[in-house]
Structure 1
């Protein structure tokens, strides 16, 4: 999936993963609060892997869901996950639920480690126990009747047990997704199915399907957002530099508040910044500060 500009990679997935918002994973048998949003995953000193990104979601009770995919869950994987979770905890000071999804090509692995002073456990869900062929029939029938389906089930279909080959199952998933009347939902499912299948489908198939999906609006929208984000980051940097020159080091709360400003507010603040005489005057642009 190298066609996506690397700096916009997270934005593409964040836009697609918005499909998870206000949804639950109860179809997986996971008893957790509903998902309220996809979280950024850029945490300093955390080792990342190009073949699959860490997926983190904010839940309704303000805890965090850390979702991973591993075919063969090892002790080294748990050490890496634990490192990541400790960084998450250090930043957000809240409970973290780590769930590892294992496709039908995998098996039960190491689910806990005990270092003496530290015990760490993940929940492993082996999707090979799920009947993908039965789910295909169920979704096909529902779509023909014009009934609603569980979109998240369709996203995880490529990881389930099936009489189809891995590649064919992924293609079938995308074929079903394209039958969904709501175009935006259909497009997001296609993108996420490729993300989920990244470790189990051969690179040639992924490249072929990803190139086909480049025409999707969700990807174009995310790329556009990536360019806008780059412009906004430049504005924020200049604004902070100018304010620091005028008022000295900025309070951390102010600096963080500036980071959250939308593009229109940034434009107004950029135009007015030379006329601001007191740091308190910034409250008219940043009410939450």
Structure 2
């Protein structure tokens, strides 16, 4: 089965390359009031290596908080404890507020799932996927696609998780067949198919995963996603190197770099950092650097 495994690496490659789909459509799909999505956060932690223990999705929001999305067939206290342990790892790494939303396939009796461990309390929001009629949504999306009308791609990607009398593998296959009819560029179509697959990965048996992987040439789709991810990784590496060099220059000139300066540098585009590297020789104070980075 190992050859068909969706690893944390290609999982992240897919989501990095498809981030705009979530940025544009996630609010309408979840029907939950949230700040806008700013960026995608990788799901991989050294302590979490298996598909069954992998966090599903993490996004940095525009207010600085983190959106953690999980999907489960049913929600138990054990699940909540597991999600809480993920959130503590996220908090330990980023020190930002965490918002956890669970997509529950079989439904949940309350809008929130919580537990109280005395000194530690945990709260999540539950989106009841059983309230969404998968067959009706499939019919609606098929009609829109055939007419060339705009759709919310997340409704298509999460379609197999909606309420249906079909088994999961049939839902996934029918959804992928519909996605193949999209009149969009091939790269976007590949991403939509790959997202549908990875989001249902932990809900399918090994045999079902192998069948879908083979029938829909997932190796080719993930190979493309990996190549795109590596390209973006090189670009991000170049930016990170420029930022670190800039911080060292500031420390060399002023003795240290304030947290505000470091934060502004980390948020700046590469072109802004390059401009600052030329200007730094004539700068007399850290206030000038802050002003330059802000404007």
What TM-score, normalized to structure 1? 0.75
Contact 2:38/2:62 (8 A) holds in 1: no
Contact 2:268/2:293 (8 A) holds in 1: no
Q: Choose the corresponding residue for 2:251, options 244, 263, 269.
A: 244
Q: Residue 145 of structure 1: CA displacement?
A: 2.0
User: In the aligned structure 2, how far is the partner of 1:102 from the partner of 1:284?
Assistant: 45
**SS across alignment from 2:68:** strand
Calculate the aligned-residue CA RMSD, in Å.
4.0
User: In the aligned structure 2, how far is the partner of 1:27 from the partner of 1:284?
Assistant: 39
Aligned counterparts, 1:1-289, within 5 A: 6=9, 10=12, 12-28=14-30, 30-33=31-34, 35-40=36-41, 48=48, 50-51=50-51, 52-57=54-59, 65-85=67-87, 88=91, 91-92=95-96, 96-103=98-105, 111-128=113-130, 130-183=132-185, 185-201=188-204, 202=206, 203-205=209-211, 207-208=213-214, 209-214=217-222, 216=224, 220-270=227-277, 272=278, 275-276=281-282, 278-280=284-286, 283=289, 286-288=292-294
Contact 1:158/1:197 (8 A) holds in 2: yes
Contact 1:71/1:107 (8 A) holds in 2: no
User: In the aligned structure 2, how far is the partner of 1:4 from the partner of 1:118?
Assistant: 32
**SS across alignment from 1:122:** strand
Contact 2:39/2:61 (8 A) holds in 1: no
Unaligned runs of 5+ in 2: none
User: In the aligned structure 2, how far is the partner of 1:46 from the partner of 1:78?
Assistant: 21
Choose between structure 1 and 2: higher helix proportion: 2
Q: Residue 72 of structure 1: CA displacement?
A: 4.3
Contact 2:43/2:57 (8 A) holds in 1: no
Contact 1:16/1:188 (8 A) holds in 2: yes
Q: Residue 199 of structure 1: CA displacement?
A: 0.7
C-alpha spacing 1:175/1:42, structure 2 compared with 1 (3 Å): closer
User: In the aligned structure 2, how far is the partner of 1:24 from the partner of 1:33?
Assistant: 9
What TM-score, normalized to structure 2? 0.73
Q: Residue 233 of structure 1: CA displacement?
A: 1.7
C-alpha spacing 1:273/1:59, structure 2 compared with 1 (3 Å): closer
Write the deviation string for residues 23-45 of structure 1: whole angstroms up to 9, x where unpaired: 354555x44246443443579x9
